[in-house]
Amino acid sequence: MNTESTFGSAFPFSNVSTASTASTVFAGLTALGWDADRDAEFAPYAERGLTVGRVSRVDRATCDVVTGAGVLRAAYGPGEPPCTGDWAVVDPAREPVAVHALLDRRTALTRSFASGASLGQVLAANVDTVLIVVPLDVEPNLGRVERLLTVAWDSGAQPVVVLTKADTVDDADEVRADVETAAPGADVVVVSAVTGEGVDVLSAIAGGGRTLALIGTSGAGKSTLANALTGADLATNETRQDGKGRHTTTWRELLPLPGGGVLVDTPGLRGIGLFDVNDGLELAFADVEALAEHCRFTDCGHDTEPGCAVQTAVETGELPYRRLESYRKLRREADWIASRTDYRLRAERSRQWKVIHKEMRRNPSPKK
C-alpha cells in the first residue's frame, strides 16, 4: 500500500490502528490544515474505525491520501471525484483501500471546461490563499489578471497577485502600482526567486497550517516560486523566446512547506473559463459595483442609460474605460455559462418527467 509521494519521508506509512487516539492520528495533519471543526465533522466516521487524510494528488481512478500515519493510494468510484486538497475518509485496514467520503469543501477553485461544457472543473479544494503568478519579464495582461482574480475570489479564498521575475526589470514598483488598479482588495507582492525579494512575505502568509495554491500561465515562474517556498528542487524549464513557457508541472500536487502549511502547484493555464462566478465578479470589480449602486436604474447596463454613475466615472477619469470593458466581457461570459447550466438543468428535469410519465402510462393506477 506504500506509494511514492512528496510526503513519503515526512509520513512513512504504517497501518492505522482503529484504537488510535484522535491526537495520535491527527498529529501529523495539523500542519496540513486539520482543525477542531474538522474533528467534529469527522467524528461519525471515526466511530466506524475509519481514518482521514488530505488528497495530495489525483490520477485516473486513484489518489494519494496523506494520513496521520502515512501516505495511502486509494481508489475512488463514480460520483464527485476527489481533488487535490480534499479531505478524504479512508479505511487503511482493508484492501483495496478506497475513498468512502469527502469532507465538506470550505473553498473550491473552479473553472469551466475548455470544451464549453456546462460543468465546472475543481482545480484545488480547501485553499486559503490563491497566489496569482504574473511574470514581469513581459508586460502584464491586466485583463487576464482580472479574470484570474474573479476565479480566485469566487473560490472563497483570499487572492494575492505575485509579480515574479522582479530581477529582470527596473520598473517593478511602477508595474505593481498599475496592477493594483486592477486588483482592489487583493495584495500585490513583487517577488524575485533569484534575489529572494518578497519570498519572506509569501512564506509568512503560509504559516499556521494554511493552504496556498499557485495559478498562472506557463512560464510565469510558478515552479521556480514553488522551489523558493518549499525548499525543494522541482523541475523547471526555461521560458521560450516568445515569452510563453513550456509546461513543467503536469498535474496538481500538494507540497509541504517548511514552516507548516501546504502549497498546491498547478499546471500552466493557457486559458481559464469562468464558471458560476457572480460573487467573484462582484469582488474582483468591487470599484465598478460600488459605483453601480449610485446608478439611476437598478438594472443599469452601464452603457447608454441616463444617470449611469459608472459611465460618469469613466468620463471623469475616475474609472479606466479598459476596466469597464473587462467587466463587461467577463459578465457576458459568466451570463452565457449560467444560461448553459440552467438549460442543462431544465433538460435533465424534462427527461426525468418524461420517464415518470412513461412509467405512469405503462402502469396506470387502478380505478376505484
pLDDT digits over 208-244, tens only?
789 999 999 888 899 899 999 998 765 554 444 444 4
Q: Between these two residues, 200 and 338, which has the higher pLDDT value?
A: 200
Least confident of 149-153, 275-279, 330-334: 275-279
- pLDDT (tens digit, 9 = 90+) per residue, 121-172? 899 999 999 999 999 999 999 999 999 999 999 999 999 999 999 999 999 9
* Type of residue found at 361: R
- Rounded to whole angstroms, the Cα distance separating 295 from 307 reads 6
- pLDDT band at 16, cuts 50/70/90? very low
CATH code, 22-102: 2.40.50.140
Domain-wise residue ranges, the chain: 22-102, 108-265
Q: Is the pLDDT of residue 345 over 50?
A: yes
> Residue 135: beta bridge partners?
164
Q: Is the pLDDT of residue 8 over 80?
A: no
What value does the mean pLDDT take over residues 294-322? 92
- pLDDT band at 18, cuts 50/70/90? very low
Q: Is the pLDDT of residue 22 over 70?
A: no
- pLDDT band at 111, cuts 50/70/90? confident
Range with top average pLDDT, 143-152, 248-257, 298-307: 143-152
What value does the mean pLDDT take over residues 77-89? 92
Q: Is the pLDDT of residue 312 over 50?
A: yes
- Of 83, 154, 152, 87, the C-alpha closest to 122 is 83
User: Which pLDDT value is given to residue 278?
Assistant: 83
User: Which pLDDT value is given to residue 271?
Assistant: 65
List of E strands, the chain: 51-58, 62-67, 71-75, 87-90, 99-102, 108-112, 120-125, 129-135, 158-164, 187-190, 211-215, 253-256, 262-265
Q: Between these two residues, 118 and 56, which has the higher pLDDT value?
A: 56
DSSP H or E stretch at residue 149: helix 142-155
User: Which pLDDT value is given to residue 168?
Assistant: 94
The CATH superfamily of 108-265 is P-loop containing nucleotide triphosphate hydrolases (3.40.50.300)
User: Which pLDDT value is given to residue 314?
Assistant: 95
The one-character DSSP state at 273 is B
Residue that has been written with the C-alpha cell 467534529 in this structure? 40
Q: Between these two residues, 348 and 44, which has the higher pLDDT value?
A: 44
